[in-house]
Amino acid sequence: MQNKTSANIDKTVIFCCNGRMITYIGLGSNMGDRAKNINDAVAMLGSAEDVSVSNLSSFYETEPVGYTDQGPFINAAAEVNTTLTPRELLAKCMRIEADLGRVRTVRWGPRTIDLDILLYADLVIDEPDLKVPHPLMHEREFVLAPLAEIAPDVLHPVLEKTIKELLDSLRSGKGK
């Protein structure tokens, strides 16, 4: 991590704003008051000095993927400026999930709230418990559609395509 950060420092400068890194977080909920859960998570994300939420997509109602025996989700994406490291941001996301009452049962199963770090500036992180860009984001329309609303021209640092290009190719691949 240390090395990757310094190796990328010249490139990531353009993603900084007042010393903060621009990151994108995907949010999903399919239990309880789904819109309230997402709004609460966004408020909690931005409640301390170290994170501010600079943009939020519309809310999208989507059918579950993976484990399909569960209710529909609401998904959204948030642009977040932060002084936290990726790992600190992950810890914050997991704390918010726990505070909002998320209990982990089935993989990809029902959840009050899911917070995923989709992008963290142009960093590439591949550690057992933290992978950025989120490894499945380019395969999931429920992630790309809200993200494309607030970050259409942002480049995926591994695939080297913009979010809009990824969404368009996912949709054309499905024959839409």
| Residue (135 or 152) nearer to ligand ADP, CB | 135
Q: Which amino acid is at 109?
A: G
Bridge partners of 114? Answer: 28
68 binds ligand ADP (CB under 6 A): no
Q: Which of residues 86-115 bind ligand ADP (CB under 6 A)?
A: 90, 104, 108, 114
Single residue of 27, 51, 113, 132 touching ligand ADP by CB under 6 A: 132
Answer yes or no: 114 catalytic. Answer: yes
- The C-alpha atoms of residue 145 and residue 126 are separated, in whole angstroms, by 24
- The C-alpha atoms of residue 114 and residue 38 are separated, in whole angstroms, by 9
Which part of the chain contacts ligand ADP (CB under 6 A), choosing from 11-19, 35-43, 125-133, 145-153? 125-133
**Residue 83, SS3 per DSSP:** coil
Within 8-124, residue ranges assigned H as helices are 9-12, 34-45, 86-99
Which DSSP symbol is given to 56? E
Residue 10 binds which entry of Mg ion, ligand ADP, none, with Cβ cut-offs from 5 to 8 Å by kind?
none
Single residue of 51, 53, 116, 154 touching Mg ion by CB under 5 A: 116
131 binds ligand ADP (CB under 6 A): yes
| Residue (114 or 122) nearer to Mg ion, CB | 114
DSSP conformation letters of 100-168: TT----STT---S-EEEEEEETT--EEETTEEES-TTGGG-HHHHHHHHHH-TTPBPTTT--BHHHHHH
Smallest gap, in angstroms, from Cβ of residue 108 to Mg ion? Answer: 9
Which part of the chain contacts Mg ion (CB under 5 A), choosing from 6-14, 70-78, 114-122, 147-155? 114-122
Tokens 């709004």 — which residue?
39
Answer yes or no: 33 catalytic. Answer: no
Catalytically active residues are: 102, 111, 114, 116
- Binding residues (CB under 5 A) for Mg ion: these are 114, 116
- Binding residues (CB under 6 A) for ligand ADP: these are 90, 104, 108, 114, 116-117, 129-132, 134
